[in-house]
Amino acid sequence: MRKDPYKVLGIKHGASYDEIKKAYRELAKKYHPDRYQNNPLADLAEEKMREINEAYDELMKNSGGGYQYQSYSEQSYENSNASRGSTSGQYQYQYQQQSNSQSKQHSKSQYQYSADNDLEQKARSYINSGNLYEAQKCLDKMKNRNAAWHYLQGLIFLRKGWYDRGYTNIQKAYNMEPQNFEYRNALNNLNQQAAGYRQNSYYRNTHREPDMCNICLRLWCADSLCECLGGDLIGCC
Amino acid sequence: MFGYVEIDKPELKIREYELFRGYYCSLCKSLGRRYGQISRFTLTYDLTFLYVLLDALNSLPAGGKMQSCIAHPIKKRFVVNSNIFAEYTSDMNIILMYYNLMDKWEDERKLLGKTGTLVLRRAFNKAQRLYPKKAKNISDQLKTLSRIEKQGCDSTDEAAESFALIMSEIFNCDHIEGEVEKKALSWLGYNLGRWIYILDAYDDIEKDNEKSNYNPLLEQYKYDGKDIKEFKESIKDKVNFSLTYSLSEVEKAYSLLEIEKNKGIMDNILYSGLILKTDSVLQGKREMNEKRSV
């Protein structure tokens, strides 16, 4: 059964164009593949993203705002990314390609161990398909513990939920090759995820009432400022 | 180990707070009905959280009525009507508490542990019969945990794994049908269990050091016998990352669940209660005067 697009976006029937757009943006941010990197639930998030895109497309089509409507879900997705200042439109695909070509370059210029290279490629594809056991076996066979090795080992740990070791390994990869885009990106992402949760949580706590002391202090400040400018806020002092 | 999952009470609406308390009472009563009055003392907030979460996935409204109970005989309180999830959570509570007490007896020779296991023996047998596979998996993980602790494992990740898997097993409730939900719940449980284990380890550093008990953080960061406060301070950032990242994964799993009700309570715990608890433990603030019972 097809889901109600309004329900998917969590808005009321007859919501305005802006409301739909806002809800869509928030959800697209929530289920963005960046957030579900190295997460065993990435496929579920992807599915959710597809649902949201479909719902958004359907509502846009029906809203009559035809000139703003984009017919492909990928486009609307990209659009939301661009507005967030992110460059990762068709994220996973690009990312994959980039990282593959990068590691190929590395192998030619720096490392002579072709056996290690094969294992590295294999480990990569096992990690992508979620087969951590086989990926680990490949890594264990590699002789050269280079930056790529630490990076992949880090990814395996992250997938398993061993974040402490995952972080240490990825940091090591980054320290060994600070110019590598992939390692830097992964390290930044880890820090961002933790900080992001905190921020999101603190945001909810900022609505706490100021205490009496605070209110008095503010009033006194306001009064002083007014007096400086020649007026008066509180007559008695 | 238990009781770290809490609500951020000042931020809850009164009606949400009443509802949360109603869930707690419902679970307590369900324990009493199924396992006898004494088992009611074993109830923890962590399992109340699980009950609220599981029930949130079910679209039927949470009905309830005003009832009195032994703890509050005069004033009647709102109690949520018991359902399959209340029963499931109370069964899991018994299994968890029984093993917890047994662990206390075997590791630290605490008399409370022994008495507790004797008292809970019958209740445990009943719960075990209902969920033999779960009980077996939990018991296996606890054995692994105990082995790891005896070996003095120096990786917090590895030490936390067993408890995380236990929570994952418990959160992956048999009465939830959707595969998506089961997968998300299981990952949520894993990360919450990991958070509890590491938070508890950080909280107990001083105590474990004094009594020379095993503590993964003392092992991993090679405590050298100097000032313990300084040591705690020096590892704070690392522990903070590990804890916050685990919570961010809890939140990601939660985002994938179709929450039909109790959203206010769930959001309150997940976005506020857990991080507040993290900070209060990291900053060494123990709320001594806090009331334990709702």
Angle at A127 between CA A121 and CA A129, to 5 degrees: 105
| B10 contacts A196? CB cut-off 8 A | no
DSSP string, B222-237: T--SS-HHHHHHHHHH
**B180: nearest Cα among B255, B266, B265:** B255
For residue B289, what pLDDT is reported?
Answer: 38
Tell me the average pLDDT across A42-55.
91
Q: Which domains does chain B have, with CATH numbers?
A: 9-282 (1.10.600.10)
Q: Is the pLDDT of residue A232 over 50?
A: yes
| pLDDT tier, A218 (very low <50, low <70, confident <90, very high otherwise) | low
For residue B184, what pLDDT is reported?
Answer: 95
Q: Which of A106-120, A205-219, B142-156 has the highest mean pLDDT?
A: B142-156
Average pLDDT of chain A is 76
For residue A201, what pLDDT is reported?
Answer: 77
Which sign, positive or negative, has the C-alpha torsion A115, A116, A122, A125? Answer: negative
For residue A113, what pLDDT is reported?
Answer: 57
| A208 contacts B10? CB cut-off 8 A | yes
Kindly list the averaged pLDDT for each block of 10 residues, start to end, along chain B of length 294: 88 92 92 87 90 91 84 84 92 89 76 78 87 92 90 93 94 91 95 95 91 91 88 93 95 92 92 92 66 40
Q: Chain B residue with minimal CA distance to A161?
A: B191
Q: Chain A residue with minimal CA distance to B274?
A: A201
| B194 contacts A202? CB cut-off 8 A | no
| B238 contacts A161? CB cut-off 8 A | no
List the end-to-end C-alpha distance of chain B, in Å, as a whole number: 19
For residue B170, what pLDDT is reported?
Answer: 94
% of chain A beyond a pLDDT of 90: 31
| pLDDT tier, A75 (very low <50, low <70, confident <90, very high otherwise) | very low
Radius of gyration for the alpha carbons in chain A, expressed in angstroms and rounded: 25
Residues A144-199 have pLDDT tens digits of 889 999 999 999 999 999 999 999 999 999 999 999 999 999 999 999 999 989 88
Q: Are strands B77-80 and B64-67 parallel, antiparallel or unpaired?
A: antiparallel
Q: Is the pLDDT of residue A97 over 80?
A: no
Measured CA to CA in angstroms, residue B171 lies from A194, B48, B164 at distances of 23, 12, 10
Residues of A in contact with B187 (CB under 8 A): 39-41
For residue A74, what pLDDT is reported?
Answer: 44
Using an 8 Å Cβ cutoff, are B90 and B34 in contact? yes
| B252 contacts A190? CB cut-off 8 A | no
Contacts of B26 (CB under 8 A, 6+ apart): B51, B64, B79, B80, B81, B82, B86
For residue A208, what pLDDT is reported?
Answer: 52
**Facing A48 at nearest CB: one of B156, B248, B256:** B256
| pLDDT tier, A76 (very low <50, low <70, confident <90, very high otherwise) | very low
Q: Identify the helix (H) or strand (E) that includes residue B181.
A: helix B179-203
For residue A92, what pLDDT is reported?
Answer: 42
Angle at A204 between CA A203 and CA A205, to 5 degrees: 90
Q: Is the pLDDT of residue A71 over 60?
A: no
| A163 contacts B245? CB cut-off 8 A | yes
What ipTM was assigned to the predicted interfaces of this complex?
A: 0.88
> Which of B6, B157, B277 would best serve as a mutation to test chain A binding (most A beta carbons within 10 A)?
B157
φ and ψ at residue B14, rounded to 5 degrees: -60, -45
| Residue B282: count of CB within 10 angstroms of its CB | 19
Residues of A in contact with B164 (CB under 8 A): 161
Using an 8 Å Cβ cutoff, are B89 and B51 in contact? yes
Q: Chain A residue with minimal CA distance to B240?
A: A194
Does B278 contact A at CB distance below 8 Å? Answer: no
What are A's interface residues with B at a Cβ cutoff of 8 A?
30-31, 35-36, 39-41, 44-45, 47-48, 157, 161-165, 167, 190-191, 193-198, 200-202, 204-205, 207-208
Tokens for B98, please give them: 């029984």
